[in-house]
Amino acid sequence: MIKKCVYNNSHLTLEQRRTIQDGIESGLSKVEIAKMLSKDPSTIGKEIKKHRTLKPRNVFNIDTLCIHLKECRRCTKKCERYEEPKCSRRDRSPGACNKCPKVSKCHLDKYFYNASDAEKNYKYTLVDSRQGINLNTTEMKQIANIIVPLLEQGQSINQILSSHQEIKQCNKTLYNYIEMGVFKEYGIDSFSLKEQVNRKVSKIKYKKRKEPVNYTGRTY
C-alpha cells in the first residue's frame, strides 16, 4: 500500500523562509528543501519564483547573449536562431543564484532570494488582498493619476474609459470605488462626479394602499 505524503498547508513563516534561503545557499534542490519543511516541492518553487529579485547583467561589453554567438559572430535578438543560454541552478533547481560559485564570472541575468524581503512582500500582499477592493496600492495610484485631472476638467467616467484603454476596470466598478472613498486621499469623492451632482432628486412619491389586497377566491 502506497502511503501519501502529509504536507503542512499553513502559510510560510519567516523562519521557514530563512530555511529556504539557507537551502538555496547550500545548493539544495527544491525537493530537499521541501522535505525539511514538510511542504510540497511546488510550494517551495512558487515561493522562490514569486519573491526572488532580478539583478540584470552588465551589457556594457556584451550587448546580447546567444548560444550560437561563436558561429554567427554578430548576434541580434531579431534573429530566428536567437536563444539565450540557460542556467540549471537559476532556471530549474533551486531557482536562485545565492552563493553560486560562478556568480562573479557569470554574464547572465541573476536572481537572488532574500527571506526578509520575501516576508515583507508577503505581508504587503496579505494586507492589500483584504482591503475590500481588487486593487493594490500601485494600481490605485496609476488610476488616480489618470482620472483626477480629467475629472477636474469636467469629463465623465465614460469619457475617461473610452480614451484610456489601460484602465481595466469597468464603468460601474470605478463609480463604486469612488463612492466607497477609495480615491478620497487623491481629492476624488462622490461630489467630483459632475453627472451625479447635477442629477435631480426624483419627486415621485408612491402613495400607500388604503385597503389591504383581498385575495379571496384567488388562491389555490
**180-206: per-residue pLDDT in tens?**
888 888 888 877 776 654 555 566 666
Phi, psi of 141, rounded to the nearest 5 degrees: -65, -40
How far, in Å, are 1, 4, 212 from residue 135 at the CA level?
48, 39, 49
DSSP at 188: -
Lowest mean pLDDT among 9-18, 22-31, 149-158, 193-202: 193-202
Confidence band, pLDDT 50/70/90 cuts, at residue 157: confident
Mean pLDDT score, 210-220: 74
* pLDDT in the model for residue 196: 59
Please give the residue that has the higher pLDDT: either 22 or 213. 22
Residue partners of 139: CB distance under 8 A and separation at least 6: none
DSSP state, residue 191: G
1 pLDDT tier (thresholds 50, 70, 90): very low
Q: What is the pTM of this model?
A: 0.56
Cis amide leading into 94 (omega within 30): yes
Q: Which pLDDT score is estimated for 23?
A: 94
pLDDT digits (tens, 9 = 90+) for 112-146: 999 999 998 888 777 655 556 677 788 888 898 99
Query: What span, in angstroms and rounded, lies between the C-alpha atoms of 93 and 113?
Result: 13
Burial of 188 (0-12, 13-18, 19+ CB in 10 A): buried
Tens digit of each residue's pLDDT (9 = 90 or more) over 67-122 = 777 777 666 667 777 788 888 888 888 899 999 998 888 888 899 999 999 998 88
- Average pLDDT over the chain reads 81
Name the burial class of residue 77, with classes exposed (0-12), middle (13-18) and buried (19+) by CB atoms within 10 angstroms of its CB.
exposed
Terminal Cα distance for the chain, rounded = 62
pLDDT of residue 205: 64
Give residue 48's pLDDT. 94
Residue 2 pLDDT more than 90? no
Helices (H), 5-132: 14-25, 30-37, 41-51, 69-72, 88-91, 115-128
Grid coordinates 394602499 are at which residue? 209
CB-based contact 33:18 (threshold 8 Å)? no
